[in-house]
Structure 1
Amino acid sequence: MKRLLVLFVFITGGICHLSAQDLNARVQILSPQVQNTNKQALTSLQSLIRDFLNGRKWSADNLQSQERIDCSFVINVTEWDGSANFKAEAQIQSSRPVYGTTYNSTVLNISDKDFNFQWSQGQPLDYSDQAYLNNLTSLLAYYAYIIVGMDSDTFSRFSGSPYYVKAQTVVNNAQTAGFTGWKAFESLRNRFWLAENFNNRDYAPVRQVLYTYHRQGLDVMSDNLEKGRKAIFSSLPDLQIIDKQKQGSIINQVFFTAKADEIVNIAGQADPKTRMDLYNLLSSLNPPNIPKYELLKK
């Protein structure tokens, strides 16, 4: 009872019988660096990936079509041997609607530089939660569960937990795969660590902020701008707990990659002291985005 309670009950005041899949995914495959690309094969793969993401049940909720989670997968093929071996990068984004507005707030915006896989034209996209079958469907399922988990967390406190567990299962199943991104020792900021962070209670403050920021902040602003804005600003210091204990963690980076611009926009009409306090906090928590936060001092 996540999106139903937040969006549908508020709007209709009643309970509806719902049926649909979970994602409204847009998929784009690019290949500007690949010569003599078989465009037909990539077009076919693009359709297969879109159908795979949109045609499966990833969550336990029953959503109407207008409640499906908007997301996008932009896959940039950097190398292709013309057969089955692909090297690629992917940009994955998701957003959720803000109550009482037409605005969609970005929840996830992540770049995966190791989105490599094998696929042959005509090959179906098979997947199982119980076993690793191939890297492409494991990648897609992993990010589908992360998207659903984060979306759930923004509507109901800590309700994304079952989906982060599923993402961790995808990681565990892929440990014997010959592809980069699944193993702890390969990087401190890869798929392994993102799933680990979301499942680790030490990072619960970030998930709490996801809920407060969206449900008590953004969703309130159309009725009470100051109340919603205050909830957002007062939630952000909780991220210092993670920053002090777990410096360099991927979960903080993922949060700010999605939210830096939005926070600056929300703070645009705040008083000078509030903006300066935010600048000091955000520049400490998220140094890579300091140029964006400089706007808060103007």
Structure 2
Amino acid sequence: MKKLIAILFFALSLPSFAQDLNCRVQILSPQIQNTNKRPLEELQIAISEFLNNRKWANFELKPEERVDCNLVITLKSWDGGSNYQGEAQILSSRPVYGTSYNTTVLSLNDKNFDFSYTQGQPLDYSDQNYQNNLSSILAFYAYVIIGLDADTFGKMGGAPYYAKAQTVVNNAQNAAFAGWKAFEGLKNRYWLAENLNNKSFAPLRDILYTYHRLGLDVMSEDLNKGRKAIAESLPELAQLDKQKQGAMLNQVFFSAKADEIVDIFSKGNPMERTKVYNVMVDADPANTSKYEELKKLR
């Protein structure tokens, strides 16, 4: 009896490894001719378990608080062994208070999702050093997703996770795979981490908080108040885009929010719609055709 009590006490004293992500992983291989797709199915399971069964956040999340996200990997080539080349779509969302609506927080396409993986290989990861490209990419986006989610609930709440994402980038500087280095382009993992940790982009992170916590989360109780908070936060986008034209973080925000902004203000008054239209066309000219809808409404 004493032995049983000791075992139970030991089990209850073990640390709790709560899950932080609720990530749906999908691997598509339309260009792969290999008829044996079993290794791809196992790879999909391995990635899902790696993301969903690890502790990424610095605080405990209840099961219903886990961050919803999607990772869709489209393979362009596979040698039938351990070498894969592809790209990935990374999406994350969070619920809006008082509604059944989930708002997109991150929508990003990574065109350098290349890695080596042997069937049955355990996916190991350490913040201390680079072990393999697949686990490093997955850890990087896990930290970015958690960080962005935290920024929408508390001002600058994502800072610890962006620092960890930066550590992943730093550790991968000697990797043989693309996506980690500054000179490889302006829209890769290096620049996303740089922007998220750069104080020059603090205004955009402030907007993330105002937009979600003081805007969307308020709209179920006071539609006009929530919409006004969002409208008043947006002019900062145009100013930031002038200072950091074409910056990756700006584009990440517009990719996630352009359609939603049109939807939110399509229900506003003409003066408000015109104001938002002018701001967004100035800040995000690439999506002008979407914002034109605000001018068509009467």
Q: TM-score, normalised by structure 2?
A: 0.93
Map of 1:20-35 to 2, 5 A cutoff? 20-35=18-33
Q: Letter of the aligned partner of 2:204 in structure 1? A: V
8 Å Cα contact 2:50/2:123 also seen in 1 = yes
Matches within 5 A, 1:198-213: 198-213=196-211
Cross-structure match for 2:8: none
What is the alpha-carbon distance in structure 1 between the residues aligned to residue 39 and residue 199 of structure 2? 43
1:37: how far off? 4.3
Aligned equivalents of 2:93 and 2:229: distance in 1? 20
Runs ≥4 residues deviating over 4 A: none
2:180 aligned residue:
182
Deviations along 1:184-230, whole A, 9 cap, x unmatched? Answer: 01101111011000100010000000000000000000000000000
- What CA distance in whole angstroms lies between the structure 2 residues aligned with 1:99 and 1:197? 28
Alignment partner of 1:123 is 2:121: yes
Comparing 284-293 with 129-138, greater Cα deviation is found at: 284-293
How many positions carry a matched residue from both structures?
A: 281
Q: Report the 3-state secondary structure (helix = DSSP H, G, I; strand = E; otherwise coil) of the residue aligned with 1:122.
A: coil
The alignment yields a C-alpha RMSD, in angstroms, of 1.0
Name the CA distance, whole Å, in 1 between partners of 2:114 and 2:108: 16
- Which protein is bigger by CA-based radius of gyration? 2
Aligned-residue offset at 1:19: 7.2
- C-alpha separation between the residues in 2 aligned to 1:100 and 1:138? 36
Cross-structure match for 2:250: 252
Q: Distance in 2 between matches of 1:274 and 1:223?
A: 20
The percentage of aligned residue pairs carrying the same residue is 62
Shift of residue 38, structure 1, vs aligned partner: 2.6
Tell me how far apart the structure 2 counterparts of residues 50 and 109 of structure 1 sit (CA, whole Å). Answer: 19
Residue 155 of structure 1: aligned partner = 153
8 Å CA contact 1:37–1:82 kept in 2: the answer is: no
Residues 17 and 54 of structure 2 are in contact (CA less than 8 Å); yes or no, is this contact kept in structure 1?
A: no
CA contact (8 A) 1:19 1:64 kept: no
Change in CA separation of 1:37 and 1:171 when aligned onto 2, cut-off 3 Å? farther
**Secondary structure in 1 aligned to 2:103?**
strand
Match of 1:170 among 168, 171, 188: 168
Deviation readout 1:146-170 (Å, 9 max, x if unpaired): 0000000000000100000000000
Task: Kindly indicate whether residue 99 of structure 2 is the aligned counterpart of residue 101 of structure 1.
Answer: yes
Structure 1: runs of 5+ lacking an equivalent: 1-17
Counterpart in the other structure of 2:34: 36
**1:280 alignment partner in structure 2:** 278
List alignment gaps of at least 5 residues for structure 2: 1-15
Q: Distance in 2 between matches of 1:288 and 1:117?
A: 32
The match for 2:241 is: 243
State the AA in 2 paired with 1:158. M
Which residue of structure 1 lines up, in the alignment, with residue 268 of structure 2?
Answer: 270
CA deviations over 1:28-54 (Å, ceiling 9, x no partner): 000001112431100000000000000
- After superposition, the C-alpha distances for 1:70-129 in whole angstroms (9 at most, x for unaligned) are 001000010001111100100000000000001000000000000000001111111111
Letter in 2 for 1:204: A
8 A contact 2:24–2:48 mirrored in 1: yes
Alignment correspondent of 2:112: 114
1:59 equivalent in alignment to 2:57: yes
